[in-house]
């Protein structure tokens, strides 16, 4: 489903906001909006969208300027940014790309083109967004891309099941995962394995990482803590 993606629309004209919002929601995207540049920055910080669509012509702070400020925010380095321009404004295409835009979209907007364009943009952005699947907790970093766990700078290579188990527990530190849930997530629904299997994997993780990271909650399951 497209709702994996959140899109922030920024335009001073409510009609356009409405029109875009309607079309994007219909495709299943999560949509949030802002009426001007200042608001856009606030919302962007809060919502962390995957894509921001900026009208170039706006009072006070125009799209170019907004884009520049957005790009300066640490968390928003990897967001895709597209500009909305009137067909004739060539100058803004130039300025836009210089300021770090990923695409521009001409008005008047045709829904089919819009959607197609956005799909392409998000697909392109995915590569970098996906890379950031790293977690960092209590001196331990789980690096999915390289498939290693880094503890105090040392790389630890874990076999698949151990890695996935650790990743699951660490994905919500403090939360207790029942054995059932663990089997379901790490092993996959249908697989049936013996009772002691999880314990053994936990043992190995404790050997490799230290005894204190995974805690047993008797009668319930296991949790990661640091």
Where on the chain is the footprint of DNA (CB under 7 A)?
A: 157, 159-162, 179, 187, 191-197, 199-203, 206, 216-221
Residue nearer to a second copy on the CB measure, 39 or 103: 103
How far apart are alpha carbons 194 and 54 in whole angstroms? 55
User: Measured from the CB of residue 218, what is the shortest distance to a second copy in angstroms?
Assistant: 7
How far apart are alpha carbons 193 and 144 in whole angstroms? 25
Residue nearer to DNA on the CB measure, 71 or 204: 204
User: Measured from the CB of residue 119, what is the shortest distance to DNA in angstroms?
Assistant: 32
The residues of the shown chain that bind a second copy, judged by CB under 8 A, are 90, 93-94, 97-98, 101-103, 110, 112-113, 116-117, 119-120, 124, 145-148, 157, 159-160, 174-176, 217-220, 223
- 50 makes contact, choosing from DNA, a second copy, none, with CB < 5 to 8 Å by partner type, with none
User: Measured from the CB of residue 94, what is the shortest distance to a second copy in angstroms?
Assistant: 4
User: Measured from the CB of residue 161, what is the shortest distance to DNA in angstroms?
Assistant: 3
How far apart are alpha carbons 67 and 65 in whole angstroms? 5
Residue nearer to a second copy on the CB measure, 47 or 164: 164
CA dihedral sign of residues 89, 80, 47, 106: positive
How far apart are alpha carbons 67 and 13 in whole angstroms? 18
- Sheet containing strand 221-224, edge to edge, reads 176-178, 221-224, 214-217
Residue nearer to DNA on the CB measure, 59 or 219: 219
Contact by Cβ (8 Å): 104, 93: yes
Quote the DSSP letter at residue 185: I
User: Measured from the CB of residue 224, what is the shortest distance to DNA in angstroms?
Assistant: 13
């Amino acid at each position: 489903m497209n709702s994996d993606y959140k899109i922030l629309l920024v335009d001073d004209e409510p009609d356009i906001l409405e029109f875009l919002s309607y079309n994007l929601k219909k495709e299943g995207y999560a949509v949030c909006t802002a009426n001007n540049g200042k608001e856009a920055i606030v919302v962007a910080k809060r919502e962390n969208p995957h894509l921001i669509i900026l009208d170039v012509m706006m009072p006070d702070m125009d799209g170019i300027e907004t884009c520049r400020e957005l790009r300066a925010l640490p968390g928003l380095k990897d967001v895709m940014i597209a500009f909305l321009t009137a067909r004739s404004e060539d100058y803004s295409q130039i300025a836009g790309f210089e300021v770090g835009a990923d695409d521009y979209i001409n008005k008047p907007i045709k829904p089919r083109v819009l959607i197609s364009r956005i799909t392409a943009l998000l697909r392109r952005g995915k590569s970098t967004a996906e890379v950031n699947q790293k977690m960092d907790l209590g001196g331990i970093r789980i690096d999915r891309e390289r498939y290693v766990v880094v503890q105090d700078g040392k790389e630890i290579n874990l076999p698949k099941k151990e890695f996935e188990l650790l990743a699951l527990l660490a994905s919500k530190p403090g939360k207790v995962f029942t054995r059932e849930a663990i089997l379901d997530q790490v092993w996959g629904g249908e697989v049936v394995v013996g009772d002691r299997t999880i314990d053994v994997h936990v043992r190995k993780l404790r050997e490799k990482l230290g005894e204190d990271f995974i805690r047993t909650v008797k009668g319930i399951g296991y949790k990661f803590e640091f």
